[in-house]
Amino acid sequence: MTPKPSEVKITEAVVTAVASFDKSIWRAPSPDPNYDENDAKRQAWFDKINNKKNWKGRILAWIDEADFADCDQASIHFTGGSLEVVGNKPGKLRVWSAGYYTHIGA
């Protein structure tokens, strides 16, 4: 059972431990060795198309025609499914994908 804040007693030992904590020993986590610049590029392309409310949801977005291949690769990487072109206008494509939940089943 979690005590109420009014029931918590801060002992002198706790105060001493907090005051003497050596911040110089704390280190930020090292970068993921499997993360590379291609991951950052894929993330940037995915950010152009993903569902802003829930990235695992369906994708429906307008993109530049020239960006289709990169956005498609990002969609495949993050959701497991490719983009479908469902509309177009000069220089733009309307793309759709079922999203992570459908492609991955999670």
Q: How do residues 29-49 score in pLDDT, each as one tens digit?
A: 556 666 677 888 999 999 999
Say if residue 19's pLDDT is above 70. no
Q: Cβ–Cβ contacts within 10 Å for residue 79, how many?
A: 26
Count of beta carbons in the 10 Å neighbourhood of residue 93: 20
| Inter-residue contact 71 to 83 (CB < 8 Å) | yes
Most confident of 8-17, 26-35, 81-90: 81-90
CA distance 22 to 34: 31
Output b/e per residue, 60-71; b: 16+ Cβ within 10 A.
ebebeeebeebb
- What is the gyration radius of the CA atoms in the chain, in angstroms? 23
Whole-model pTM?
0.65
